[in-house]
Amino acid sequence: MADADVTDARTRRLFVGVFVCEAATIFGLWWFSRIFS
Amino acid sequence: MRTFDWIVVAAYLTWIVYDGLKRTKNTSEVEGYFLANRSLPWWAVGLSVMATQLSAITLVGATGQGYADGMRFVQFYFGLPIAMVILSVTLVPFFYRARVFTAYEYLEQRFDLKTRTLASVLFLMSRGLSCGAIIAAPAVILSIVLGWNLTLTILAIGLPTVLYTMVGGVQAVTWTDVKQMVVIVVGVVAAVIMLIAGLPDHIGVGKALHLAGAAGRLNPVDFHFDWRQTYTFWSGLLGGLFLMLSYFGCDQSQVQRYLTAKSVQEGRHSLLMSAFVKIPLQALVLLTGVLVFVFYLFNQPPLLFRPVVVEKIQKSARAGELQGLESQFTQAFEMRRAASTALADAAGEATGPARAAFLAADARVSAIRAQAATLARELGEGGYKDFTGDTPTPDVNYVFPTFVTTRLPPGLVGLIIAAIFAAAMSSIAAELNSLATASVIDIYRRLIRKEASDAHYLRVSWMATGFWGVFACFVATFAAGLGSLIEVVNRFGSFFYGSLLGVFVLALVFRRTNGHGAFIGLLAGIASVATFALHPATSGVSFLWQNPLGVVVVLIVGLAVSAATGGRPAASRT
């Protein structure tokens, strides 16, 4: 299998990290606006 | 600008040009010149991806948006992280495996020459014009705010960028992008620190944010669904997802960034850097604008931010009306300042008399500004019919440069002007480099002269970069005089994005589709999006939804035409 087809473990963890981070960021922004509104 | 500021800006320009010019190592071959021999580390490519996306007009426009309308603009980027993951799994490995120079080269491998050429020509047309707009927009603002000659400002931004991009190729673009990104972040952080330091003694950061919240400026997440609104959670997440997939997956100015990475994994990681950093960075830029708003609660802002418009009214027969409005504005500002202090002392109470008094005073300030906008409109400034939040839309891009040049100390003004230059130059360099690549690889080498030495193609590449640079500066000079042209150019570009993405989805997902389907599907997609955007019944729908529309039309037409023309021979399905 070519290198291009392989998604290594680190990259897969990064993918999960992206989704977790985005959810946390959006929640954080929403929470931030709730505190100061 | 004072002497020290000029020195800072001149030092920045000298440093960047010197750094770009010395990056000529391994650029004696076409692959070195356009793809750095696929040797760059992920973090440099990642910063270059971000610097390319962050243009000067994004920097000054977003801070102005933050000032006038709060943080809702951040939702525009909610689809970006998901797009980056999808691209990392799909297009990035495909492009690497295909060993292509341009995204459109892959379309010939998968479909045929006419589809590749059409996609490349669409890219050249839209990006060639938009490159002019990318130079024109900040040049107009800087020339007015700083009192510089417009043509000289365009040349000050354009010429150094053309010079190092032409000589150093993609390595110069990437490594200068890295430094420019640092300058931009340092400039923004310095502005935030100065804004916080510039608050009155009794107003801390918490109280400042309570005031911003009370004025409706802290509104980063809006879950309401409305087709006409661009800045909602759903528009950003779904419409924005398609836009970001198109921009990062099908636009050569971005594809070329990650094709320079050492490996497919490094290419993926460079995109994932944006996935992690873009939303927080954009939130910081918008928060800067929000803090400018709070700063102007305690320091009187201009009634209108565009000095040319103020001068025009002052020279007209209605100068007296403006004087009257200025006087009312000063009184209203003083009342709002007192109300701001009272609300801050009440710890930003959610309801109650202090909040009601603050909102009433803020509404009064907005109402007087609206009267001034009406005056400007009646004197021929047509753009003053639209408002972003409480600020006339044409004024929004002038808020941050006005604050910087009138309120910050010497040295820091130069640093932030350098950051605006950096934002403009990093985007322009990547555009020029990608325009040259598409011109040489997709058009010249493929259609005009197929067999020639690397030295020949390299000379042509230099010439192509120079040509696009001169073309962009020319368009910028022309566009600067016609403000609305910039919007037209941007809108023109947005017609293609969804449709181009549709062709790549056809290529990757539907193995039976052929070149006829892709070609006709692409044309149908562009025609549909243009009709949708310009038709009175649908023109009010946010442009973000044009992207999914383009994808859907290309898929339907592409599949139908492919089926009608015999599909793709089984032997060539891979």
Which domains are seen in chain B, by residue range?
Answer: 3-295+408-572 (1.20.1730.10), 296-407 (no CATH)
Please enumerate in sequence order all residues whose Cβ is within 8 A of that of B11, keeping only pairs 6 or more positions apart, or say none: none
Residues of chain B with pLDDT > 90, as a percent, come to 68
Residue with tokens 């293609």: B496
- Binned at pLDDT 50, 70 and 90, residue A1 comes out as very low
CA dihedral B26, B27, B30, B36 (to 10 degrees): 70
The mean of the pLDDT values for chain B is 90
Q: Which residues in chain B touch residue A4, judged by CB atoms under 8 angstroms apart? A: 93-94, 96-97, 264
Closest by CA to B556, choosing from B525, B515, B516, B519, is: B525
Cα dihedral sign for B416, B419, B421, B427?
Answer: negative
DSSP state of B40: B
Model confidence at A2: pLDDT above 50: no
The alpha carbons of chain B give a radius of gyration, in whole angstroms, of: 25
- Binned at pLDDT 50, 70 and 90, residue B505 comes out as very high
Rounded distance between C-alpha atoms, residue B353 and residue B154, angstroms = 51
Rounded distance between C-alpha atoms, residue B285 and residue B521, angstroms = 39
Give the per-residue pLDDT at B441: 95
- Binned at pLDDT 50, 70 and 90, residue B487 comes out as low
Give the per-residue pLDDT at B572: 61
Closest by CA to B518, choosing from B109, B88, B89, B127, is: B109
Task: Record the tokens describing residue B44, joined without a space.
Answer: 């440099």
Model confidence at B368: pLDDT above 50: yes
B312-355 pLDDT, tens digit each = 999 999 999 999 999 999 999 999 999 999 998 887 666 788 89
- Choose the mutation target among A6, A11, A12, A19 for the interface with B, i.e. most B CBs under 10 Å: A11
Closest by CA to B504, choosing from B481, B532, B525, is: B525
Whether residue B293 contacts residue B199, with contact meaning beta carbons closer than 8 Å, is answered with: no
Model confidence at B81: pLDDT above 60: yes
* B-chain residue closest to A37, CA distance: B213
Give the per-residue pLDDT at B574: 53
Cα dihedral sign for B192, B204, B334, B360?
Answer: positive
Task: Record the tokens describing residue B73, joined without a space.
Answer: 């603009």
Task: Record the tokens describing residue B291, joined without a space.
Answer: 């803090």
Whether B218 and A33 lie within 8 Å, measured CB to CB: yes
Would you list the DSSP string of chain A? --GGG---HHHHHHHHHHHHHHHHHHHHHHHHHHHH-
* B-chain residue closest to A9, CA distance: B265
Model confidence at B149: pLDDT above 80: yes
Rounded distance between C-alpha atoms, residue B33 and residue B334, angstroms = 59
> According to DSSP H, which parts of B215-306 are helical?
233-234, 240-250, 252-259, 264-298
Give the per-residue pLDDT at B539: 79
Give the per-residue pLDDT at B286: 95
Crossing angle between the packed helical segments B42-53 and B252-259, to the nearest 10 degrees: 170
Model confidence at B98: pLDDT above 50: yes
Categorise residue B452: left if φ over 0, alpha if ψ from -120 to 50, beta otherwise: beta
Q: Averaged over B470-496, what is the pLDDT?
A: 71
- Contact pairs from chain A to chain B, CB under 8 Å: 83
B207-237 pLDDT, tens digit each = 999 999 999 999 889 898 888 887 899 989 9
Give the per-residue pLDDT at B482: 56
Would you list the DSSP string of B535-566? STTTTTS-GGGHHHHHHHHHHHHHHHHHHHTT
Give the per-residue pLDDT at A19: 94
Rounded distance between C-alpha atoms, residue A11 and residue B329, angstroms = 56
Rounded distance between C-alpha atoms, residue B518 and residue B514, angstroms = 6
Give the per-residue pLDDT at B489: 59
Rounded distance between C-alpha atoms, residue B53 and residue B488, angstroms = 19
Residue with tokens 């100065």: B194
A4-25 pLDDT, tens digit each = 455 678 888 889 999 999 999 9
ipTM over 0.90: no
Task: Nearest by CB to B213, from A3, A5, A36: name it.
Answer: A36
Task: Nearest by CB to B221, from A3, A30, A36: name it.
Answer: A30
Model confidence at B153: pLDDT above 50: yes
Whether B275 and A32 lie within 8 Å, measured CB to CB: no
> Any CB–CB contact under 8 A between A36 and chain B?
yes
Whether residue B260 contacts residue B170, with contact meaning beta carbons closer than 8 Å, is answered with: yes
Task: Give, for B70, the enclosing helix (H) or strand (E).
Answer: none
Give the per-residue pLDDT at A3: 47
- CA B307, distance to chain mean position in Å, is 24
